[in-house]
Amino acid sequence: MSDFLERFARDFASLDKHNLQRLDQLYSEDIQFTDPLHEVNGLPRLRHYFAELYSNVSELRFDFHGIDTCGEGQGYLRWTMSYRHPRLRGGQLIRVAGCSHLHWRDDKVYRHRDYFDAGALLYEHLPLIGTVISWLKRRLG
């Protein structure tokens, strides 16, 4: 089982805006993809989602550092995403930790759910909202 997860992590980490056709090798036609900001159903919509994602950033990388199987055809990948967006934090590198819960059959993922802190990904880096979130974190911390 972990062979599938290791292969998926390696192949996913090698994705970029020039090879998104490889999503067809990773995901089934009926893929259900969910993260804290989006829900995408079906491979054509997932291709569009990733194309938009990669077109809006100047750098995007996933470093996988943990693999856990939790049953037949399902498991978790732990990762750190690093990205640069020209309008967030002055284009500096932003890192966000997260994990993906995957369900697969026939060597393709049909359910992919990502867990990460949406604030750390986006909101904390927006000019006005980010200042408020930082202030709140200091007050509550």
> pLDDT tens string for the chain (141 positions)?
479 999 999 999 999 999 999 999 999 999 999 998 889 999 999 999 999 988 888 889 999 999 999 989 999 999 999 988 887 767 888 888 899 999 999 999 999 999 987 665 554 545 555 555 555 556 666
pLDDT at 133: 52
- Output the CA angle 79-125-92, nearest 5 degrees: 70
Q: Considering only CA atoms, which of 55, 76, 58, 59 is closest in space to residue 67?
A: 76
DSSP 101-118: EEEEETTEEEEEEEEE-H
C-alpha span between 129 and 123 (Å, rounded): 6
8 Å CB contact between 124 and 130 = yes
Q: Mapping DSSP to helix (H, G, I), strand (E, B) and coil, where does residue 64 land?
A: strand
Domains contained in the chain, CATH given: 2-138 (3.10.450.50)
8 Å CB contact between 1 and 75 = yes
Give the CA radius of gyration of the chain: 16
pLDDT at 135: 57
8 Å CB contact between 76 and 100 = yes
Structure tokens of 84? 């640069």
Instruction: For residue 83, count other CB atoms closer than 10 A to its CB.
Output: 19
